[in-house]
Amino acid sequence: MKRVAIFISGGGSNMLSLLDAMEDPSFGAQPVLVLANSAKAGGLAKAAARGVPTAAVDHRDYSDRAGFEAEISKVLDAYKPDVICLAGFMRVLTPEFTAQWENRMLNIHPSLLPKYKGLHTHQRALDAGDTEGGCSVHLVTAALDDGPILGQASVPILDGDTASDLAARVLVEEHKLYPAALRKLIGELE
């Protein structure tokens, strides 16, 4: 059974879809840790309510990324995950950290990569007059939102859509795509 750590910054809706998926014994993985970069992250209570160990490592407590990540690595040493899933995790990780987890760390990004790396993806798609939006799950590499893509899902952009309309439509697909992509990676690890 592979061991999965999930990193969050906020409500953790993607985290919940991953936890739900791993309840199926055939999935082949178990959640061992949910880590947030703030003790206020709403997802921590949701994870704890499901009996998943949690940790908060607040990036503001450290003077640099290396210090922040050293503390994260200490926590990871205690839980020994095989795979890390970034799920609404809003901190950029250093090349050193991503190298340690090469091919074993995933991220979900709310755009059809390689379009719209970075932030405000839905507004950028609307501003560009795109007819579709979507989400991508990719392996995390040193370059932001740039690693090999494991899966994508697209949704139509409708007349009059706001960024939050599009975000809500994409989020529904994220909750299906992420568990499917993780399951595929877990299968390849065995």
* Nearest CB to ligand GRF, comparing residues 48 and 78: 48
Residues 6, 32 contacting (CB under 8 angstroms): no
d(C-alpha 75, C-alpha 178), whole Å: 24
Of the listed pieces 10-18, 27-35, 92-100, 157-165, which binds ligand GRF according to CB under 6 A?
10-18
Residues 187, 179 contacting (CB under 8 angstroms): no
Tokens of 150: 């494991």
130 scored as a contact of ligand GRF (CB under 6 A): no
19 scored as a contact of ligand GRF (CB under 6 A): no
Tokens of 139: 């392996």
How many chain residues interact with ligand GRF (CB under 6 A)?
14
- Residues numbered 27-56 forming contacts with ligand GRF, rule: CB under 6 A: none
d(C-alpha 64, C-alpha 121), whole Å: 27
Task: Tell me, yes or no, if 109 is annotated catalytic.
Answer: yes
18 scored as a contact of ligand GRF (CB under 6 A): no
Which of 81, 80, 85, 77 has its CA nearest to residue 12? 85
d(C-alpha 93, C-alpha 147), whole Å: 13
From residue 108 to residue 127, what is the string marking binding to ligand GRF with x (rule CB under 6 A)? Answer: x-x-----------------
Residues 176, 153 contacting (CB under 8 angstroms): yes
145 scored as a contact of ligand GRF (CB under 6 A): no
Shortest reach from residue 156's CB to ligand GRF, in Å: 17
Question: Interface residues with ligand GRF (CB under 6 A)?
Answer: 8, 10-15, 87-88, 108, 110, 135, 171, 174
Catalytic residues: 109
